[in-house]
């Protein structure tokens, strides 16, 4: 049995993507259709085949005149609207009269008639030719208007995508300097205390963390599994400072491990938990990150066992607001209205941030490395 022939790599291409090609195709088809319509009508009315020669010459005349009109219209499209429409009407009238004059002259040359009959013949051709040229002009401008609208829509979409990418990049870049400042400050403290081994270890882990995060574009999306691995690298760095006071726990359901989300989305939540739950308490705190499927969504909860909003230092008013605002903005940019984010702080203490977003599995070509 012979091997199957591989499919040719044809790509669907919009008809008006190549405007010149589209013009010549429509120009040929339109005037060919006009000739066939007049020819069929003439034959139906009992005309002989040789008598269709004037129809063919008339069609060629119209084809040629409209080519010249296309050049003029292309220039007029760049002018002010009043100039465009006024001159276009004049061009159509002159073109129709020229075509009618040529048709009438050709007919009277082949079939001599009196001057009165020639005038009536000219007026008859004028009506027919002006109708055809007027329809051609209307179609020309309609197609150009359609192409312009499509190009503007595509340009607007590109600008919106660029704006979204710029905003996402800005939100991502706002997170990194804060984290780097804290980490480098900790390394500096270790160096001053002559704890070089711990300082070197922290530098190595910081290098691994940055290498893992900075290879991705700020606008990239990662899987939840990758985001958790990034958090673990970050927590390994912080654990050098807090040791047993920092107790991270991860509970990620396997069904949502490949869920897609903006990179470094959860890092500021964990950073806030360290700042407001671990740091102020002598015994430290647990930081728990859970992710579970909820219908067609994935629910991610970042919680801690700190004092919550009921402590003297109010978390929402002294630092977490900016980070959480960034997270909300990034969620809106990524998922629109199909997401939610809320915070909870029960009277007995603790603080939780609950995020729900669509459970969209990662696609290899669209997920960051």
Distance spanning both ends of the chain, measured CA to CA: 42
Contact between 61 and 102 (Cβ < 8 Å)? yes
- Write the CATH number for 216: 3.30.565.10
- The reply to whether 328 and 200 lie within a common domain is yes
- The reply to whether 137 and 207 lie within a common domain is no
- The reply to whether 80 and 140 lie within a common domain is yes
This prediction's pTM: 0.52
- The reply to whether 245 and 304 lie within a common domain is yes
How far apart, in Å, are the Cα atoms of 353 and each of 280, 291, 301, 319, 356? 19, 12, 6, 15, 10
- Mean pLDDT, to the nearest integer, of 9-13? 50
Could you list the residue range(s) of the whole structural domain that residue 266 is in? 195-358
- Mean pLDDT, to the nearest integer, of 266-291? 90
The tally of domains found in the chain comes to 2
3-state secondary structure 37-104: HHHHHHHHCCCCCHHHHHHHHHHHHHHHHHHHHHHHHHHHCCCCHHHHHHHHHHHHHHHHHHHHHHHH
- The reply to whether 354 and 208 lie within a common domain is yes
- The reply to whether 83 and 215 lie within a common domain is no
Structural domain contains residue 245? yes
- The reply to whether 204 and 115 lie within a common domain is no
Structural domain contains residue 104? yes
| Residue 299 burial (CB count, 10 A) | 18
CA separation for the pair 55, 59 (Å, rounded):
6
* Tens digit of each residue's pLDDT (9 = 90 or more) over 286-319: 999 999 999 999 999 999 998 887 654 444 444 4
pLDDT reading at 340 higher than 90: yes
CA angle 321, 324, 326 (to 5 degrees): 110
Select the highest-mean-pLDDT range: 33-42, 91-100, 174-183: 91-100
- The reply to whether 149 and 226 lie within a common domain is no
């Amino acid at each position: 049995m012979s091997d199957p022939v591989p499919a040719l790599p044809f790509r669907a291409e919009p008809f008006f993507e190549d405007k010149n090609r589209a013009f010549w195709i429509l120009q040929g088809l339109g005037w060919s259709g006009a000739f066939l319509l007049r020819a069929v009508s003439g034959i139906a009315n009992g005309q002989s085949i040789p008598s269709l020669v004037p129809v063919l010459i008339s069609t060629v005349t119209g084809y040629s005149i409209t080519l010249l009109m296309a050049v003029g219209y292309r220039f007029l499209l760049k002018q002010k609207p009043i100039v465009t429409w006024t001159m276009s009407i004049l061009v159509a009238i002159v073109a129709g009269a020229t075509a009618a004059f040529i048709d009438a002259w050709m007919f009277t040359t082949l079939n001599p008639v009196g001057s009165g009959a020639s005038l009536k013949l000219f007026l008859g051709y004028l009506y027919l030719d002006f109708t055809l040229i007027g329809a051609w002009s209307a179609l020309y401008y309609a197609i150009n208007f359609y192409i312009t609208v499509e190009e503007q829509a595509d340009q607007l979409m590109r600008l919106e995508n660029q704006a979204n990418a710029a905003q996402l990049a800005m939100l991502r870049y706002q997170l990194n300097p804060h984290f780097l400042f804290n980490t480098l400050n900790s390394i500096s403290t270790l160096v001053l205390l002559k704890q070089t081994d711990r300082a070197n270890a922290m530098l190595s882990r910081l290098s691994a963390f940055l290498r893992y995060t900075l290879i991705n574009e700020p606008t990239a999306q990662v899987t939840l599994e990758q985001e958790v691995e990034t958090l673990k690298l970050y927590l390994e760095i912080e654990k050098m400072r807090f040791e047993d006071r920092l107790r991270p726990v991860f509970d990620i359901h396997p069904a949502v491990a490949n869920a897609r989300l903006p990179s470094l989305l959860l890092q500021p939540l964990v950073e806030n938990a360290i700042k407001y739950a671990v740091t102020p308490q002598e015994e430290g705190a647990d930081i728990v990150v859970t992710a579970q499927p909820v219908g067609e969504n994935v629910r991610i909860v970042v919680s801690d066992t700190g004092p919550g909003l009921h402590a003297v230092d109010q978390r929402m008013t002294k630092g977490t607001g900016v980070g959480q605002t960034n997270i909300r903005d990034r969620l809106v940019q990524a998922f629109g209205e199909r997401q939610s984010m809320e915070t909870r702080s029960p009277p007995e203490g603790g603080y939780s941030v609950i995020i729900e977003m669509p459970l969209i599995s990662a696609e290899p070509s669209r997920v960051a490395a």
